[in-house]
Structure 1
Amino acid sequence: MKVMLRKDAKGILSAYIPKKDLEEPIVSMEQADMWGGVVTLANGWRLELPQMGPETALPITVEARRLGE
């Protein structure tokens, strides 16, 4: 699914899923760098993000996979 990742003025990461018109903050990451790992949203959804470099600028739209559907 398409997911837009962004960081707000306070530095909080969030994910927006246009198909569901859903925006939720990212509350945890399985590893220090979110790229190529799994993040958990405030609503409990877990998303596997693609592998990208740590210098990747936000906001960005990526193809992510929802786990545990």
Structure 2
Amino acid sequence: MNINLLLGIVLLVVGAVLLYFGYTASQSLGEQVHETFTGRFTESTTWYFIFGIASAIGGLVLVTFGVRS
């Protein structure tokens, strides 16, 4: 198995996990109250989404274009 393919799959999984944590954090009562009054998520929830999206995109790129024989 190619190391780029393996790294891409790991990054996709990590990205999915981070996005899941970000989603569950955004649905909590405290986060909903904070968003209601400020109009945005807390910093920690925002970082979950940012790193989750970046990791998932990086993993997708590696899985798609990183396999070169």
TM superposition score category, shorter chain reference: under 0.3
- Give 1 or 2: higher strand fraction: 1
Instruction: Flag the structure with more relative contact order, 1 or 2, with Cα contacts below 8 A and sequence separation at least 6.
Output: 2
Larger-Rg structure: 2
TM-score under structure 1 length normalisation: 0.22
User: What TM-score results when the alignment is normalised by the length of structure 2?
Assistant: 0.22
